[in-house]
Every structure is written in structure tokens, then in C-alpha cells.
Amino acid sequence: MNQISFDELARLACDPGHGWSIGTFGAIGEFIRDEDEPATVQNDRDNIEIVTARGALRIRHSDSFECLAWDSLSSDGESWGHAMALCAPLTGSVDRAVVSLGADTDAIRREDQSSRLFDMGVCNGTIRMCARTDDEALIGALEALEGQDLLSSPTVMAEVLRAQPHRVMLSPAGRIEVFQPIPPPDGKSPEGPHTHLLAKLIGKGRPHGANVPIPDGYQSILNIHPRSPWRNALGERHDFVPDTDTAFSPMLERFGLDQDRAVDAHIRTAVAEGANPEFFDWPDTRRGRTKARIVLRRLAAAGHEHVGPWRVWFDRAPVETDETEQ
């Protein structure tokens, strides 16, 4: 992995088209803002901070963060997404215990710095998902649960839902704060900054999902969700925007996986030369197969004349028919 400069991170952060998240498998907090949403942006020698009425982001000043960039495969049979992560060695054991961290003196907004902060004990490695509150009943319930598993206490979880604490995601790269309410179990996450807490996934004790190509022994300490060429910030599909995809290419070149670049070149050469997909040596790794399918989709989006049979063979694309075949 290559290092990314703080100036590059600051430029990405100042573009509201990019989203951010901190978390581990099953417990994650996201910071998203609208293009026209009022925001306070502060960039100094220590941090870059962005605050809206719905949440806040802080990225610590460093030029030594290691960065990884990759494409992600969408399940719709046509599109793909972009992803980046600042990565660090996965250290520490999994400790499923609530811990009081005292007053949140590092809170981004001054008015939150006297509120109590509790590590909820649901993340792995150097990541923490915390609850921040002034609610005396919730403070008492969390203090009584110190050293125990939050998810084993339905009563305390009900108190969390009642008190609606801020959620604070902590990592070596900075923090994300979510001010918006927690939806009920059968509700929908609000647009903009929000958190996910999924007990079944947390129980697996993994730093990230199986399709995230972060090397073994590492975890993400800050995820970047660049503009998508296929979807808006709400995840709604729109027509393919080639310029958005092209703009991500330098990130893939600098911070992408060597394996991805090799697969990309191999697939493009074979398709351009008119090779028969039936006899092609398809990648034998999960990530290799994923990347190969993304390359085929890119070629299809660009209108490549020879890619159709490849997608039928490898990308589960429907066979094209004309009216005489129906």
C-alpha cells in the first residue's frame, strides 16, 4: 500500500460528493452531507473538521496513512462502485465490554465536550463505537453494565433507543460523530449521517466483509466512499457518468492492488484480441473474479463490440435476443 498525503485527504473531504465511514463488520458510522447543506469546514495543521447539523467528521493530520483503492461489484448485473480505505495493522483483542471513557473532551463541537462517552464494546482492533450522552438514566445503565456485553442486555439497549445518544466512531485516523436519531428496530436509517449496529455480524468478530480486499492483518481506520458513476448519494441509480469513473482512475493507479491491475490488463487484452471466453483462463481468486467482472462491465458501458459474449459467459448477463427470437 502507498501513503496518501493529508492535503489529498483534505481535498476529498471538502467535496460533499464523497462519503466517509469508520467501523468494523456489523458496527459502523457514516458521515454524508448534501451538496447544498450548510457546513462549517476547518482545516489547520492538526485536523480537518467538517460539521453539519446532522453530524461531524474529523481527520487527523498525518502524511503517513496507508491507502488502498478498489472497485466494488454491484448486484444489479450492470454497475460497480468505488471505494478507498486508510489502513493500519489489526492489533488488540476483541473485548465485548462496555467501558466508560469519561467526558468527551475531544468532541468536535465545544457544547459536547462535557458529555459522557462510553465505548460500547462492539468493534475490533483500534476502532471504537461509542455513545455520548447527558441522559442520567442512560449514564447509570451504562455504568452498571461496565465490563459486560452491551448486546446481552435488552434493557440497556432499550435505554439507548429511548435516550438517543450521539454515536461517536473513534479511530487512529480521527472520528465521526452522528447527531441524528437512532431508528427503531423495524425502522429505516435517516438520510445523511447514521450508524448501523448489527448483532449477528458483530458476533463474527471480523474487521470487514469478505468482499473488501484489505490484506490480512490490516483493518480500515477510515473508509472513503467516492462519488459513484452509477448512483447518487442516496444510492439511487442514474445513467452512467463516464467522467466520474475516469476521475477515479488515478486513485486506482496509485493506491490499487497489483492483482487488480494485472487482471484488468489480462481481460482487456483478451477481449480486444477476440479471444474465446469459453477457453479463457478465468481468475481463480475471489477478488480476481470480482475485478474481472468489473472490467467486463466497464467495457460494456464504453460500448465495446466484443464484450457481450464475455458477459454472458462470466457476468451472468442475460442473453440478448431480437424480436424474431421471442
Kindly state whether residues 306 and 318 are assigned to the same domain.
yes
CA distances from 162 to 95, 181, 184, 186 (A): 25, 10, 10, 15
Task: Using the predicted structure, report yes or no on whether residue 148 has a pLDDT greater than 90.
Answer: yes
pLDDT at 326: 41
Q: Are residues 216 and 308 in the same domain?
A: no
Which domain-ending residue is among 256, 271, 295?
Answer: 256
Q: What does the pLDDT look like over 205-222, one tens digit per residue?
A: 899 998 999 999 999 999
Q: Same structural domain for residues 46 and 147? A: yes
CA distance 322 to 25: 45
pLDDT of residue 187: 85
Predicted pLDDT of residue 140: 98
Are 168 and 186 found together in one domain? yes
Specify whether 71 is located in the same domain as 149.
Answer: yes
Task: For residues 320 and 220, state if they share a domain.
Answer: no
The pLDDT tens digits of the residues spanning 34-44 come to 999 999 999 98
Same domain for 36 and 115: yes
The verdict on pTM exceeding 0.75 is yes
**Under 8 Å between Cβ of 112 and 132:** yes
Domain boundary among 229, 256, 283: 256
pLDDT of residue 235: 84
Instruction: Based on the fold, state whether residues 213 and 290 are members of the same structural domain.
Output: no
Helix 286-301 with 258-272: angle, nearest 10 deg: 50
Please report the pLDDT score of residue 134 as a whole number: 98
pLDDT at 116 over 50: yes
Query: Is residue 285 domain-shared with residue 214, that is, in the same domain?
Result: no
pLDDT at position 317: 63
> Within this chain, do residues 114 and 216 fall inside the same structural domain, yes or no?
yes
Q: What's the domain range around 286?
A: 257-325
pLDDT of 137 higher than 60: yes
Looking at the predicted structure, is the pLDDT value of residue 21 above 70? yes
Average pLDDT, integer, range 117-143: 97
Q: Which helix (H) or strand (E) holds 254?
A: helix 242-255
Overall average pLDDT of the 92-104 stretch: 90
- For residue 107 the three cell numbers come to 468532541
How confident is the model at residue 265, as a pLDDT?
Answer: 97
Over the stretch 279-319, which tens digit does the pLDDT of each residue have?
999 999 999 999 999 999 999 999 999 999 999 999 986 54
Same domain, 137 and 283: no
Indicate the number of domains in the chain: 2
Q: What is the pLDDT of residue 9?
A: 96
Q: Are 100 and 37 in contact (CB under 8 A)?
A: no
Percent of the chain with pLDDT over 90: 87
Which of residues 213, 235, 256 is at a domain's end? 256
Q: Above 60 in pLDDT, residue 199?
A: yes
Confidence of residue 107 (pLDDT cuts 50, 70, 90): very high
Q: Is the pLDDT of residue 198 over 60?
A: yes
Please name the residues in contact with 244: beta carbons below 8 A apart, sequence gap of 6 or more: 227, 228, 229
Mean pLDDT, the chain, rounded, equals 94
Are 168 and 38 within one domain? Answer: yes
